[in-house]
């Protein structure tokens, strides 16, 4: 056994001192810190482009966190060590020449007391034979984002956040570097900070009966409210609630994903998007100014919806070319089994049950 372990480390690959062969870009350009009662989150990704002439393989990722005095706070890494090595949490580890690939940031969660002034990421890539090794670095200085709009929840009553934007949520894992997605014109993750609201009963059930029937869902047709004041800049409500969409239209209209939708411009750089709304349910028109808590539409199942729910997100613009923004809400309750917790200002994510 000792001989086997020693043989694994007998060969030390040559590390290139040349400019990085793999170009690493941070996306989006500005990295925001989200703060909650459980800690701090960084929701961003890396785009890696191999500028060399042969396939390279990602062997490790390391991050060093520094405080405002440039002192090391902590260091984390994933690599190929172990029976089921942590590097396997990165599914795409082979990088062909001149093809950009997305790497979802594996270090996304930190304790509340960690000062995230600067983070230095080091990526190691090796050739297929393991004889040569290349290093690439990326430095970020994240900033705390506080929502400008005084947001309230868009749904009254109890809802489960069926899918939020944690590391495992599908909103978070939108790979717009994947070639079929890139070919459709997607160039950002506008869904980066999204929530799927699904109204539930006191037992936490979303529906009764056949789940394929929209009207069996407690939330189908429930009113949706303006999270904040603003101007209506987009309304679509003619699509059927058939949980599908015409994928051939994505090249010319990426918002077809949402089926029917309403967009509110809060007039401060923040836009609220209400997606999958019920056919014919829009209560507002483009150009209209709405007040906070005004009814704007109803929950439906149009577009890319697995079932009736509200897909809500805050973003920098009115369409799919925008970037997502963190959203904090005021005056809601978090349901914790038999207990409830009043939240004056805060966030939530996948699996949480909240109530207005």
CB atoms < 10 A from the CB of 290, how many? 19
Diameter of the chain measured on Cα atoms = 75
Within 8 A by CB and 6+ apart from 232, the residues are 262, 263, 264, 265, 284, 285, 286, 287, 288, 289, 290, 296
- pTM listed for this prediction: 0.91
Q: What pLDDT sits at residue 18?
A: 61
Cβ–Cβ < 8 Å for 101, 47: yes
Q: How many CA atoms lie within 13 A of 174 on its CB side?
A: 23
Closest by CA to 326, choosing from 80, 62, 43, is: 43
Within 8 A by CB and 6+ apart from 53, the residues are 97
Calpha distance 322→194 (Å, rounded): 13
**Structural domains in the chain plus CATH codes:** 12-144 (2.60.40.1470), 158-355 (2.70.70.10)
Cβ–Cβ < 8 Å for 257, 243: no
Alpha helices (H) in 56-183, listed in sequence order = 179-182
Q: Which two tokens stand for residue 29?
A: 């350009």
Whether residue 28 has a cis bond before it, omega within 30° of 0 = yes
DSSP code, position 56: E
pLDDT tens, residue order, the chain (356 aa): 433 333 333 344 555 446 689 999 999 999 999 998 789 999 999 999 999 999 999 999 999 999 999 999 999 999 999 999 999 999 999 999 999 999 999 999 999 999 999 999 999 999 999 999 999 999 999 999 999 999 999 999 999 999 999 999 999 999 999 999 999 999 999 999 999 999 999 999 999 999 999 999 999 999 999 999 999 999 999 999 999 999 999 999 999 999 999 999 999 999 999 999 999 999 999 999 999 999 999 999 999 999 999 999 999 999 999 999 999 999 999 999 999 999 999 999 999 999 99
Q: What pLDDT sits at residue 13?
A: 53
For β-strands 261-265 and 132-140, DSSP reports them as: unpaired
- CA–CA distances in Å: residue 100 to residues 47, 63, 96, 125: 6, 21, 8, 15
Q: What pLDDT sits at residue 19?
A: 65
Q: What pLDDT sits at residue 10?
A: 37
Q: What pLDDT sits at residue 49?
A: 97
Burial of 285: CB neighbours in 10 Å, binned 0-12, 13-18, 19+? exposed
Calpha distance 282→255 (Å, rounded): 17
């Amino acid at each position: 056994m000792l001989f086997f372990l020693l043989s694994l480390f007998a060969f030390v690959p040559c590390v290139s001192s040349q400019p990085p062969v793999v170009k690493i870009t941070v996306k989006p350009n500005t990295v925001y810190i989200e703060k909650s009662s459980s800690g701090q989150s960084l929701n961003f990704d890396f785009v890696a482009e191999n500028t060399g002439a042969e396939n390279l393989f990602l062997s490790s990722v390391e991050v060093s966190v520094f405080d405002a005095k440039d002192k090391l706070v902590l260091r984390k890494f994933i690599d190929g060590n172990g029976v089921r090595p942590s590097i396997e949490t990165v599914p795409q580890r082979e990088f062909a020449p001149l093809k950009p690939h997305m790497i979802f940031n594996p270090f996304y969660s930190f304790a509340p007391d960690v000062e995230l002034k600067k983070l230095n990421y080091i990526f190691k890539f090796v050739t297929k034979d393991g004889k040569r090794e290349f290093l690439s670095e990326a430095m970020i200085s994240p900033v705390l984002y506080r929502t400008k709009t005084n947001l309230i929840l868009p749904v009254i009553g109890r809802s489960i956040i069926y899918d939020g934007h944690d590391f495992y949520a599908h909103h978070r894992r939108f790979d717009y570097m994947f070639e079929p997605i890139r070919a459709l014109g997607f160039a950002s993750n506008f869904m980066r900070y999204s929530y799927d609201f699904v109204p539930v009963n006191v037992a936490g059930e979303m529906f009764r009966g056949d789940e394929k029937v929209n009207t069996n869902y407690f939330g189908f047709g429930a009113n949706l409210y303006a999270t904040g004041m603003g101007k209506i800049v987009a309304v679509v409500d003619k699509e059927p609630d058939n949980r599908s969409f015409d994928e051939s239209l994505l090249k010319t209209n990426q918002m077809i994903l949402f089926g029917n939708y309403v967009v509110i411009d809060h007039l401060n750089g923040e836009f609220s998007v209400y997606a999958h709304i019920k056919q014919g349910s829009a209560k507002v028109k483009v150009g209209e100014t709405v007040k906070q808590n005004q009814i704007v539409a109803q929950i439906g199942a149009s577009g890319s919806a697995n079932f009736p729910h509200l897909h809500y997100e805050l973003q920098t613009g009115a369409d799919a070319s925008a970037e997502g923004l963190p959203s904090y809400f005021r005056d809601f309750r978090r349901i914790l089994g038999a207990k409830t917790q009043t939240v004056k200002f805060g966030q939530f994510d996948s699996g949480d049950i909240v109530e207005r």
